[in-house]
Amino acid sequence: MKNIFLLLFILILLFFYLSAKKSFSKLFKKNVRISNFKKTSLSKESNINKIFLRNDERLNLNPNINIQINLNEQEYQIINKTNIHRSRLAKFKKSKFNGDIIYLDEDEKVYKVINGIKKYL
């Protein structure tokens, strides 16, 4: 009878030990998502990306702001600027690109006005 109580007591202790170990490890386990969020929100790169996103948003909302593309720009910058230009054409039917205002007509043909004459591109 003593052996049964001793075995039962050991099993109960083992159960409490394992459950306490599991809950204890959960308390001190770092949440990977929270730590990644902290790293990205505090990094200089993320702040720079936020500034570029705000600038892109500002360009997207006003078709009269000139989008200038230079030869020394990198490919991803050129692609980003042309995408902004295309979205402004689709939304406002006009966009200022490299100093010229370019329009989009009802047939979705692109043109610019030179000396009062439509010149299709």
pTM of the model: 0.60
Q: What is the pLDDT of residue 95?
A: 92
Strands (E), the chain: 94-97, 100-104, 110-114, 117-120
**Confidence band of 26 (pLDDT split at 50, 70, 90):** low
User: Degrees (nearest 5) of the Cα angle 54, 34, 19?
Assistant: 165
Q: What is the dihedral sign for C-alpha 43, 48, 54, 60?
A: negative
- Which residues, in sequence order, are CB contacts of 119 under 8 Å at separation 6+? 111, 112, 113
Structure tokens given for 119: 């010149």
Query: What is the dihedral sign for C-alpha 50, 44, 67, 110?
Result: negative
Half-sphere exposure (Cβ direction) of 51: Cα atoms closer than 13 Å: 6
Alpha-carbon span 57 to 104, nearest angstrom: 21
Instruction: Compute the average pLDDT of residues 89-101.
Output: 90
Evaluate if residue 23 carries a pLDDT over 70: no
